[in-house]
Chains A and B, each alone.
Chain A
Amino acid sequence: MMQTKPIATRESYGRTLAQLGAENNKVVVLDADLAESTKTCMFQEKFPERHFDCGIAEANMVSIAAGLAAAGMIPFVSSFAMFATGRAYEQIRNSVGYPHLNVKICASHAGISVGEDGATHQCMEDIALMRGIPGMVVVNPADDTEASQAVRALADYKGPAYLRLGRLAVPVINDPESYHFELGRAVTLREGKDATIIATGLMVARALEAAEQLAQEGVQVRVVNMHTIKPLDVEAVVSAAKETGCIVTAEEHSVIGGLYSAVCEAMVGAGVSCPVSPVAVMDVFGQSGPANDLLEHYGLTAEAIAQKVRERLAH
């Protein structure tokens, strides 16, 4: 792991947006009274004439973005994951997804790591919601390096996309000098033959820690960073199943409809079979508490991942 200070992916987003603003005058940013939290304020400072605060009206914001995109602009739309993908789900589906418009839904405060705000603000269903929309790209970056590159990749990509961002500062695991983000292409961070941990978002760093623990016990696990949930890198899943015979998925999202679901669907579709264990939020709502305490409480830790691997290998 690189020795730099942890950074929240929302920070990476705001910083990269501000750079993009200078490079492309078609980039516009919409927010719903959360510019300080989603970090679109960093764009707003430099390009106030292309930053539109829609007020607390997410449904309107998403449909306005659709209109902007229909007229050739590249709108980045931000709010908390709960309100962007939940409150405005149908606007995303019908006004953005159906006409396949070039709108980027970039939502921060996804998952349990929102912390003290509690269950109403902890969105654990966003990947499931966005993944179900035909033609929607879904990206869940693991760290600052990946999030920054993902923002650029989505700006270049023509079509609707969902970028999942977090509130919590997370370790930087990818070297910005050598890392290259490619939409839809998973990254194998560590090789191993005994099992594979397929992780996404902030769980990737925890998966690496788990792999390190397991290595000390003589278990060699492959670690795959599945930053793009849709389109899923099916080949990476299939080779993990075939070559390591056991998969543990790790995501800060409901066990229903997210990475675990996508991996299982891909395996069944490809006709390969191996045991798959999820590390995820197990179909419950969250609660208030410090982010790291919550991650531990809901079993989203390196130790929990390692334990799942051990359990699987003991069978």
Chain B
Amino acid sequence: MDKQTMNHLKRMANQVRQDVLSEVYSAASGHPGGSLSVTDTLTYLYEVQMRVDPQNPSWEGRDRLVLSKGHTCPALYAVLAQKGFFDREELKKFRHLGAMLQGHPDMKGTPGVDMSTGSLGQGISAAVGMALAAKTQGASWRVFAVLGDGELQEGQVWEAAMFAAHHKLDNLIAVVDNNGLQIDGNVSDVCSVYPIDEKFRAFGWEVFTADGHDFESLDAAFSAARQVVGKPCVIAQKSVKGKGVSFMENQAGWHGKAPNQQQYEQAMEELRAAAAELEV
């Protein structure tokens, strides 16, 4: 990846993080922790991997992304707004009564959202259905699905995994955002999903690992996954819940809580300082 692209991605991701904070602060509710852990990946996917047309969100030939961990939609909304799918002003109304941006993704109401999600475990199956549709239609578009690590506790994920491998859906790339935390604490303490890689391998998937906050690492993993034939791929990315905001990092408590005014201002200050460093 060239320097220019890298810097562009870093700047964009920083803006997405600021938007995530503003959305959740404005709503006085929402899920900052997981939004911040998946921010770099969503930024990378929409900027580098995916063929989409913000002017024509329902273009049949587009690549699709299903945010199976739907509660982290503040990050998806921020990316979609930056891509121009809708007015950035909408971000300020996140979770407000009558607003376009719902607490969990609503494909009917939000341009660029490819699937309504929020109930964990269902998005991956829907992504499998889309990949199956592309195969049935002989179409070349791809499907990306983004799951949480805690989400792997849902049995439906493994039903979907079994089916995707059985049908050799090599047009499907899943990401597991392994930040290690869920609402009640450490994933490994609540009900361990580990080892993630061996489980998916046993289900017939090709597995890649990546650092979810390193664009070079993400680029290497996704580029390799695109080349795989005859198997679905999963990228198990190590990430940090709350990434980019010092007091939110690695804290399960920030899964589904909005910052107060002082916390919001501190978080924004940190992010703006990080943005300034990128300009040096």
Contacts and interface: CB of A to CB of B under 8 A. Distances in A.
- Does B bind A? yes
Interface of A: 28, 49-50, 52, 54-55, 57, 59-60, 62-73, 75, 90-91, 94-95, 98-100
A65 B132 CA distance: 10
Contacts of A91: 122, 125, 156
What are the 8 tightest A-B residue pairs by CB atom distance, in nearest-first order? A67-B129, A63-B125, A71-B133, A60-B159, A67-B126, A64-B129, A57-B159, A99-B116
B132 A99 contact: no
A86 to B, nearest CB: 15
Contacts of B60: 72
Contacts of B19: none
Given A59-B155, A94-B122, A99-B106, 10 more contacts: A57-B162, A59-B122, A59-B159, A63-B125, A63-B156, A67-B129, A70-B114, A91-B125, A95-B116, A95-B125
Interface of B: 60, 64, 66, 106-108, 114-116, 118-119, 121-123, 125-134, 136-137, 155-156, 159-160, 162-163, 167
A60 B132 contact: no
Contacts of B136: 28, 49-50, 68, 73
A95 B122 contact: yes
Contacts of A71: 64, 129-130, 133-134, 137
A73 B133 CA distance: 7
22 contacts: A50-B136, A55-B159, A55-B163, A59-B155, A63-B160, A64-B125, A64-B126, A65-B129, A67-B66, A67-B127, A67-B128, A67-B133, A68-B136, A69-B129, A70-B130, A72-B60, A73-B136, A95-B119, A95-B122, A98-B116, A99-B107, A100-B108
Contacts of B132: 52, 64, 67-68
B119 A90 contact: yes
Contacts of B66: 67
B258 to A, nearest CB: 24
Contact of A66 (B115, B118, B121, B167): B115
A52 B155 CA distance: 20
Nearest to B109: A99
B176 to A, nearest CB: 17
A65 B106 CA distance: 17
B116 A94 contact: yes
Contact of A59 (B106, B108, B125, B128): B125
Nearest to A91: B122
A94 B118 CA distance: 8
A287 B134 CA distance: 44
B159 to A, nearest CB: 4
Given A59-B156, A60-B159, A73-B136, A67 B115 contact: yes
Nearest to A97: B116
Nearest to A66: B126
* Most chain A beta carbons < 10 A, residue from B119, B129, B134: B129
Contacts of A73: 133, 136-137
Contacts of B121: 59
B163 A60 contact: yes
A245 to B, nearest CB: 44
A208 B134 CA distance: 48
Contacts of A63: 122-123, 125-126, 128-129, 156, 160
A70 B162 contact: no
A70 B115 contact: yes
Contacts of B133: 67-68, 70-73
Contacts of B115: 66-67, 70, 95, 99
A191 B156 CA distance: 51
Contacts of B131: 67
B162 A55 contact: yes
A192 B119 CA distance: 50
Contacts of A95: 115-116, 119, 122, 125-126
Contacts of A52: 132, 167
B125 A94 contact: no
Contacts of A72: 60, 133, 137
* Most chain A beta carbons < 10 A, residue from B64, B125, B130, B156: B125
Nearest to A59: B156
B228 to A, nearest CB: 20
A122 B98 CA distance: 41
B106 to A, nearest CB: 7
A60 B159 CA distance: 6
A75 to B, nearest CB: 8
Nearest to A52: B132
Nearest to A73: B133
Contacts of A60: 125, 128, 156, 159-160, 163
Contacts of B118: 94
A70 B115 CA distance: 7
* Most chain A beta carbons < 10 A, residue from B123, B131, B163: B163
A68 B130 contact: yes
B41 to A, nearest CB: 21
A28 B136 CA distance: 9
Contacts of B122: 59, 63, 66, 91, 94-95
B159 A67 contact: no
